[in-house]
Amino acid sequence: MGPDQHRQERELLGAYALGQLDAADRARVQEHLAGCADCRAELASLDTVAAALRGLDPDTLAPLDAAPPAGLADDIFATVGARRRAAARRSRVRRVLAGGLVAAGLVGAFALGGRTLGTPDAPPVVAVSLRVLPAAVEAQAGLVRHTWGTELDLQASGLADGGTYTVVFLTRDGTRVPAGSFLGTGSQPLHCSVNAAVSLDATAEVQVTDDRGALVMDASVG
């Protein structure tokens, strides 16, 4: 995605947070959020402002011809700039910490069960019952609730080695939200996570299809 297209998607985040987009633009933003961590973080930072705007009573607002308070634009730009600088600092801290973990050899501990143990702030994994169609495939999965959407944590074996598999979330109103794809590993164990820009409460079903579009496994949610 080029910088101009990314900027266009980012400019829609405010309207998306307020629920003001039509179905086509909403699906476009959801597809972009699934693959853009920066925009997911910015959308999360807009939650408080969006909630406040949704709660406004139009009858209490000033007339449309009223002049804005002096310095309002400067205050807005200062607030947005401060949030972006804070987000950049958090990103740098995360990269430094990640490098320290690798240097200390903690990646091995993570692979041996660090994720299962988790941390006090780690969101819980909600187990789902998978319906697996190919007899040779074994799989189990869970869903993780996030502020920006929902994560599918999948473990499987028996998927065609090198085959491409696509994950789609179906919402309760029938919208299909793409969540990315992964490669099968044959008889070797597979553990992957994919993300969709849709809330866990709005998710009705998760589907996994192969490169021919045939359904390989699915799970009802809730």
Q: Which CATH number fits domain 123-220: 3.30.70, 1.10.10, 2.60.40, 1.10.3470?
A: 2.60.40
Token pair of 99 as six digits: 């490098």
Report the pLDDT value the prediction gives residue 89, as an integer from 0 to 100: 73
- What is the rounded distance in angstroms from the CA atom of residue 42 to the CA atom of residue 203? 22
Q: How far apart are CA 36 and CA 148, in angstroms?
A: 11
Window from 44-48, 62-66, 151-155, 199-203 with minimum mean pLDDT: 62-66
In the chain, where are the structural domains located?
A: 123-220
> What is the per-residue pLDDT across 9-29, written as a single tens digit (0 to 9) for each?
778 878 888 788 888 888 888
Tokens 């359904």 belong to: 215
Yes or no: say if 144 and 123 are a contact pair by the CB < 8 Å rule: yes
Which has more pLDDT, 120 or 111?
120
DSSP code for 59? G
Tell me the average pLDDT across 45-62: 67
- The per-residue pLDDT for range 143-184, each reduced to its tens digit, is 999 998 999 999 999 999 999 999 999 999 999 999 999 999
Regarding pTM above 0.85, the answer is no
AA letter at 49: V
CB contact burial 123-152 (16+ within 10 A = b; e otherwise): eebeebebebeeeebebebbbbebebbbbb
Judged by DSSP in three states, 95 sits in helix
**CA 37 remoteness from chain centre:** 8
How far apart CA 32 and CA 23 sit, in angstroms, is 14
Q: Could you give the angle at the alpha carbon of 136 between the alpha carbons of 111 and 114, nearest 5°?
A: 10
Q: CA 66: distance to chain centroid?
A: 40
